[in-house]
Every structure is written in structure tokens, then in C-alpha cells.
Amino acid sequence: MFTQIEITTACNAKCFYCPSDTMKHTHMSWGCFEKIVQTEKSPTMLLLQGTGEPLLHPFFWEMVAYAKSKGHRISTITNGTMALSEIHSVLLDHIGFSLDTLDEVLAKRSGRTSPSQTIKHLLACYKHAPKKIKLYAVNYGQDLAPLKAFANEYNLPLFIQRIQPKKSYQTHYTTEPLPYVTHQCSYLENKKMRYYFVDGTKAPCCFMIDSTKVLHTKVIQHNLAQKNVPSCCTQCGELTGVKRLYM
Ligand SMILES: C[S@@+](CC[C@H](N)C(=O)[O-])C[C@H]1O[C@@H](n2cnc3c(N)ncnc32)[C@H](O)[C@@H]1O
Ligand code: SF4
Ligand code: SF4
């Protein structure tokens, strides 16, 4: 079980596959964050990231320090536009960098920021905490070989994310609907995670994007038991059997 907190929906990039630009850009209040951390009864892994760039939160490092003081381990994923100091690399337990390509032109066309800037910030972190860094790429059909070679050179785990077939992500693209192969969701059955949207709304997974469209967990479970897929779960990989991440 881990907890993910969408501390901000603000972003300085416009990745074509991400719904961030259609959302109201706002930061989670300190009070809301503090309340969520205080509801955690025992130390856990806190993933500080949702649809937005976490390092843009003006109190990001205060949030990290506060959660660490309560015994939690902290993970985040960043687009690499901001530099992290040595102390920052020490405070974080896992640091994910999103990098889809090394090609500046392609990255720009996709709405991502400069790969060389991300690599510069990644390598600065690597100097202090090489084992904490992971790479995340979205596969939208680009040549992944140069990225794999870069990951190999530095011995970094590379997680390749399928472009999300889940409908809640698809404000700027569509994918062909896939058949549902099950109505069982491991996130619900194993209580894998708690997700908090920027407004403090709670959800049983991180795939719903819009807090206003989240149904109560019991309602989702009831629907799935009746073999109905509720709208907040449309085309979720849990139900189509298509895994989101691969190496
Ligand atoms: C929503 S971002 C938030 C953190 C940060 N802004 C970043 O880009 O790393 C978290 C991860 O989700 C991925 N992501 C966003 N939209 C996606 C989509 N439609 N399909 C697959 N992955 C996606 C991003 O590439 C990133 O690795
Ligand atoms: S994937 Fe990350 S960097 Fe790209 S637009 Fe979404 S939140 Fe911003
Ligand atoms: S969107 Fe629905 S089916 Fe998918 S992980 Fe979340 S609760 Fe489970």
C-alpha cells in the first residue's frame, strides 16, 4: 500500500498525451497536505505527483521535509525542468525523470521540454544519488533505442509507459477500444494505493484524472461485480488486461 498526492496541477510543459493543459492549474494548500499526511497511521511511501509538475509547488521541499519528519519515504516524478541540489537528492528516496526521447526537435513537437535540460538535471542528481533515479518514457511510436542506450550507459531502470488507453487521459488523442477481459481490479481488491487529488478528494487509484468524476469505491465495486464498467474506469488496463508499464 502506498499513497499518492497530487500536490499541483500546474505545469510548464504541454505534452500532447497529457490532459494537464485542460485542467485548472492550482496547488494543494499546505493545510490539505498536512491533513492527508496526518491521516497516515504508519510510515509509508508517499508519491508526491499527479497530473502536473510537482517541483512547481512553491512548498514542494517543505512538504518533503515535513513528510520525512513523520517517517515517510518520498518519491516523485519530474519533467526535469528544474535543478535539484545535493540536499534535495538526499531528501528524496526515489526520483523519476520523464524522458521520451533524446531528440530535441521531436521532444518539442510532442510538447515536452528540452531533453538536454532534463539530462543535465538528471546527471547532477546522479552524481549524489545514482541508485535513486528512474527513467519514465511514454511510447507513442518514437524510436526508443537511443533512450535505452542512455539508460544502459548509466545503469538506470527505464520504465516504458504505453500511451494510456484509459479514456480519462484522452483529451488530445484517442485509441481503439479494447475488449474487457475481466471485471476484477487489483487496485480495489488489494487496496494497492490511496490517491488524493489536488482538492483533497480521495480515490482508490491514480487513473481517474478528474476528481468530479470519481465514484465512491463501493459503487465502483458494485458495478464491477455486476459486470458493468463505470465511466471512471472506462478502458482501464486493469480490465482490458493491458499492462501500463514495461521495461
Ligand atoms: C502526469 S506526469 C506528472 C509528473 C511530471 N510532470 C512528469 O511529466 O514527469 C507522470 C507520468 O505520467 C506520464 N503520462 C502522462 N500522460 C500520459 C499518457 N497519456 N499515457 C501514458 N503516460 C502518461 C508522464 O509521461 C509522466 O512520466
Ligand atoms: S506529462 Fe508531466 S510534464 Fe507533460 S504536461 Fe503532463 S504533467 Fe506536464
Ligand atoms: S480506474 Fe477503475 S478499474 Fe482502473 S484501477 Fe482505478 S478503480 Fe480499478
**Per-residue pLDDT for the chain (247 aa), expressed as one digit of tens each?**
999 999 999 999 999 999 999 999 999 999 999 999 999 989 999 999 999 999 999 999 999 999 999 999 999 999 999 999 999 999 999 999 999 999 999 999 999 999 999 999 999 999 999 999 999 999 999 999 999 999 999 999 999 999 999 999 999 999 999 999 999 999 999 999 999 999 999 999 999 999 999 999 999 999 999 999 999 999 999 999 998 888 7
The response to whether residue 118 sits with its C-beta less than 6 Å from ligand 2 reads no
Ligand nearest to the CA of 47: 1
Q: What pLDDT is attached to residue 246?
A: 81
Which residues, including other chains, have CB under 8 Å from residue 77's CB and lie 6 or more apart?
47, 49, 54, 96, 97, 98, 136
Q: Looking at residue 244, what is its pLDDT?
A: 86
CA 79 to chain centre: 11
- Ligand 1: residue whose CA is nearest its atom 26: 98
The stretches of 129-226 forming alpha helices (DSSP H) are 145-154, 186-189, 217-225
Helices (H), the chain: 30-39, 60-69, 86-91, 104-110, 115-128, 145-154, 186-189, 217-225, 237-240
**pLDDT of res. 234:** 97
- Helix 145-154 to helix 115-128 angle (10° resolution) is 20
pLDDT of residue 245: 83
CATH code for the part of the protein at 2-166+193-213: 3.20.20.70
Q: Tabulate helix, strand, coil % of the chain (nearest 5).
A: 40, 15, 45
Counting Cβ atoms within 10 Å, is residue 197 exposed (0-12), middle (13-18) or buried (19+)? buried
Residue type (1 letter), 78:
T
Residue for grid cell 535505452: 148
Residue nearest to atom 7 of ligand 2 (CA): 52
Ligand 3: residue whose CA is nearest its atom 6:
205
Distance from Cα 40 to the centre of ligand 1, integer Å: 26
